[in-house]
Amino acid sequence: MRIVVLGVGNILLSDEGIGVRTVEKLARDYILPAEVELIDGGTSAMEMLEDLGHADHLIIVDAVRSGKPPATIVRMAGDEVPVFFRTKLSPHQVGLSDVLATLVLMGEQPGTTTVIGIEPESLALGMELTPAVARQLPQVVGLVKSELNQLGMNLTARH
């Protein structure tokens, strides 16, 4: 089994970096099973095709536009995850949707895909998450841990 946890976003645009900050925290705080791969996708797009192809499960963590209050966490799985996005969920969605659609066309799409997103409070220039989104980071990490546990993967805390 191969599971990819992909954190995407631009760390220069405050809350846009929540996906990258999540994979950084997972790498810093936990020892992961060999079957789990963390990828800091940043704002990359097609460069990730090889890394994401044929994964059994893909967990994407990203800032999303859900229409809910800032710092609200949303989870989408299975058919809820639009491969061919019609509405823009993420500020850099064009790249991510292109990647997922290309994987489908190549027959290399992940077995299942889950998106854990958080509504950004600010996308202003800045390296730090806003306080409201930063307070949610442990819950986002906990959701990723829960997803991995449901897939039979247990993380070991480093501390």
Q: In angstroms, rounded to a whole number, what is the distance separating the alpha carbons of residues 115 and 7?
A: 10
**Continuous segment of H or E residues that includes residue 118:** strand 112-118
Which residue's structure tokens are 């631009």? 10
Q: Is 16 annotated as a binding residue?
A: yes
Q: Kindly report the backbone phi and psi dihedral angles of residue 39, in degrees, each rounded to the nearest multiple of 5, phi listed first.
A: -130, 125
CB 109 within 8 A of CB 27: no
Q: In angstroms, rounded to a whole number, what is the distance separating the alpha carbons of residues 103 and 53?
A: 6
Encode burial over 58-76: b for 16+ CB neighbours within 10 A, e otherwise: bbbbbbbeeeeeebebbeb
> Which residues face 2 on adjacent strands?
none
Q: Is 62 annotated as a binding residue?
A: yes
Q: In angstroms, rounded to a whole number, what is the distance separating the alpha carbons of residues 49 and 60?
A: 14
Residues contributing to the annotated binding site for Ni(2+): 16, 62, 92
